[in-house]
Structure 1
């Protein structure tokens, strides 16, 4: 998905803009993502620069040594998960209108997924160990 993509939080206080998204939706089942959103984090990766404005309307929580999570201070909308080392943004899929361009195709931390839910889609799956091995520059 390309063009400048511009989305807003529920209360419209914060705007997130990116030039391009990978058209693949992934689900993260790690315990932090499930605690953060009450279920798996359904997300898309930005391939372009991400701008979040105004910055004073955003709260950022450093959830680990390597990543942080941002949300609107007013309405609480989840805005991003950002890898600190390379400024890589993973954005909630729900922020973007589905125009048939997004495909749910992968799940990570599948070993942390609780038994009480299951997706019907056939997807690639990775355990937490496999995720950390693939992104070896990110500490466990």
Structure 2
């Protein structure tokens, strides 16, 4: 699969929307301690280069998590938006905010040495649909 052009996405509440000019359709999982604290598990990211535009800048919070990178999030709903390398301006966008779920391919993991033992992508798990989950908890 070649790079996708002009991809859209946004946060959970819609306060922040984005347009990425070039999206490499490979998803990577980062298992580092900071990413896991940030999103509650591995950060699933897509390399979108440096040409990413945002609407709703006023709702983007930024956290300088290291000397070389910052993390962006929606200040309204808390959605993780991006991990950005300061020097190159390269964005690693959260895979789940892109409107490309059927076009992405999970192909790499980083900081595998920091991955805790309590999860593994190759584990056999119970798979539930949204309807099954709602039925289990009596929600609609």
Q: Specify the TM-score bucket, using the shorter chain as the normaliser.
A: 0.7 to 0.9
Contact 1:72 1:79 in 2 (8 A): yes
> Please, what is the CA RMSD of the aligned residues?
1.6
Cα deviation, 1:26-74, whole Å, max 9, x if unaligned, reads 0000000000000000110003501122211111000000000001111
Partner of 2:97: 95
Q: Does 1:42 align with 2:44?
A: yes
After TM superposition, the score normalised by the length of structure 2 is 0.81
- Corresponding residue SS for 1:100: coil
Give unmatched runs, 5+ long, in structure 1.
122-140
Partner of 2:138: none
CA 1:99–1:36: 2 relative to 1, 3 Å: closer
Q: Distance in 1 between matches of 2:33 and 2:74?
A: 22
Q: Number of matched residues?
A: 121
Give 1:99 shift: 5.0
After TM superposition, the score normalised by the length of structure 1 is 0.81
- Corresponding residue SS for 1:56: helix
User: Based on CA coordinates, which of the two structures has the bigger radius of gyration?
Assistant: 2
Give unmatched runs, 5+ long, in structure 2.
124-140
Q: Distance in 1 between matches of 2:14 and 2:30?
A: 26
Query: 1:21-60 counterparts in 2 under 5 A?
Result: 21-47=23-49, 49-60=51-62
